[in-house]
Amino acid sequence: MFATLSDRLADTFKNLRGKGRLSEADIDATAREIRIALLEADVALPVVREFVAAIKERARGEEVSGALNPAQQVIKIVNEELVAILGGETRRLRYAKTGPTVIMLAGLQGAGKTTLAAKLALWLKEQGKTPMLVACDLQRPNAVNQLQVNGERVGVPVFAPEPGNGVGDPVSVARASVEEAKRKLHDVVIVDTAGRLGVDAELMQQAADIRDAIAPDEVLFVVDAMIGQDAVTTAQAFLDGVGFDGVVLTKLDGDARGGAALSIASVTGRPVMFASNGEKMTDFDLFHPDRMASRILDMGDVMTLIEQAEKAFDQAEALKAAEKLAGNGEFTLEDFLAQMQQLKKLGSMSKIMGMLPGMGQFRQQLENFDDREIDRIEAIIRSMTPAERDNPKIIDGSRRMRIAKGSGRTVTEVNQLVDRFFEARKMMGQLARGGGIPGMPGMPGMPGMGGGRPGKQKAQAKKGKGARRPGNPAKAAQAAAAEAEKRAAANPFGTPGGEDIDYEKAAAALDLPKDFSKFLK
């Protein structure tokens, strides 16, 4: 959604790096680039003016002039101002002290109110509430049926006494829904109202009548984040005609420029409360201004990633896998498959990776990532026998051919999976034991990385210094060749000193697999 804005801001901040002090010209140039980036992202002009003026004023102040790193200080200022225009703090739902909490959804047709009603119901259900959906959109064809289907998907009952399709009084349905919720002990009522293709008097009157009939605790304005500047105009019209307490942004996973999200809260004075960023019923959550600002500035959104992981991952399974990697048991392909299945619960891999800091520079690679690759890996593992999953070392050529046929993949893909599994298991095991990444050069002070104190390294270097080599490279090469020839004559097999080797003792020291001994005979 904010890809264009993120890229422009990143390019702007690159020009500030390495500068010890920011001149007036630097500040003006930066402000101009930020203004262009915001306008290109479809942010409303009054918001752009206010935003740029605040940045210029703070950039000229002492907080930047006295900073050790002016560039980072400017980024900090931009981040704080972005959080401010996005609403400042996370706004949560207000629940009624007595009786059911009534939430009314309003907005134009096509904004996604009906689907969002079900998403909100599922979210409330996960919070321990017992919501009920109310079908008050009696104008749009099949709107009532769509809400019933969505309600069934999320396991939430739907109150729909009228068939819709132009039949029924939405005000009467809304009024009766509150009594129905009290009778069946539902603590939250979500009222889905009708929309229009554009703002008109009839739409406003109907929404106002429903509001007056049920006295909702929260009126949420649902807006499509992809409609650009028109979102601000529509939001202002609803604010004047009906009034609302918060905004819900839908279709944040689209490819629009996202200016609506940066404009609505500032223009209307009403915070963005929720955001929907996908087609799944679970792609819905509270809107956090600070996290959204971090995403825009390519600082990632690690907190949201952690929260999603806590919901999706089985802690007992994760702990068991970690213990196996640390050496308490063998990490098998069966464990790997279980981890992959839990990872799939988080959603798209490109979306997950996009929450990590600095991933904006790999946006094209993330967009081109095929999420079906995980399904292909799962198909290969499921085509293996339990014995093969527990001990992948037994998978020989004929077994790999059978697995390839069973999974519909090629033998090459099976080979790649098995080889990568062994490499990954070795690396993760090393990390789990605190030994660092295999193959990485030694670093002083890092456990298991082959480093140590500089003084100790120097002593070891002096101890193993040995004979001096000639300074002339040609003579040094001749001396090395002569030494190698001398060793080869003394011991044709290259063993040090020519002594006999106890192969059984050497094999035991290597800790080879049990079935490997036959290759030493």
Q: What DSSP letter does each residue of 85-124 carry, written as one string?
A: HTTSS---PPPPSSSPEEEEEE--TTS-HHHHHHHHHHHH
Question: Do 139 and 278 have their domain in common?
Answer: yes
Contact 346, 282 (CB under 8 A): no
- State the CATH number of the domain containing residue 413: 1.10.260.30
Write the CATH number for 236.
3.40.50.300
Q: How many domains does the structure of the chain reveal?
A: 3
Same domain, 246 and 345: no
Alpha helices in 345-472 (DSSP H): 349-354, 363-367, 372-382, 386-390, 397-407, 411-432, 454-463
Domain end: 299, 331, 360, which one?
299
Residues at the binding site for GTP are 107-114, 192-196, 250-253
Does some domain include residue 473?
Answer: no
Rounded CA gap, 106 and 221, in Å? 5
- Are residues 320 and 255 part of one domain? no
- Which of 278, 299, 320 is the C-terminal boundary of a domain? 299
pTM of the model: 0.61
Tell me: do 318 and 416 sit in the same domain: yes
Q: What is the C-alpha separation between 233 and 268, in angstroms, rounded? A: 10
Domain final residue pick, 239, 265, 299: 299
Give the structural domain span for 48.
3-85
The tokens for 400 are: 């790999």
Query: Which amino acids are annotated as binding site, given as ranges?
Result: 107-114, 192-196, 250-253
Q: Spell out the per-residue pLDDT of the chain, length 521, in tens.
A: 566 677 777 777 777 776 667 778 878 888 888 888 888 777 888 888 888 888 888 877 766 655 557 777 778 888 888 888 887 788 888 898 888 999 999 888 888 889 999 999 999 999 899 999 999 988 888 899 999 999 999 999 999 998 888 888 999 999 999 999 999 999 999 999 988 777 778 888 888 999 999 999 999 999 887 776 777 788 888 888 888 998 888 887 765 566 776 788 888 888 888 888 878 888 888 888 887 777 777 665 566 666 666 666 666 666 666 666 565 557 788 888 877 777 777 766 666 666 666 555 665 666 666 677 888 888 999 999 988 888 888 888 899 999 999 989 899 999 988 888 888 777 776 765 655 444 444 333 333 334 444 444 444 444 444 445 555 666 666 666 666 555 544 444 444 444 444 545 555 555 555 554 444 44
Q: Using an 8 Å Cβ cutoff, are 284 and 106 in contact?
A: no
Is 458 part of a structural domain of the chain?
Answer: no
Is 351 domain-assigned?
A: yes
Residue 402 belongs to some domain of the structure: yes
Measured distance CA(67)–CA(482) in Å, rounded = 62
Domain co-membership, 328 together with 276 = no
132 and 221, same domain (yes or no): yes
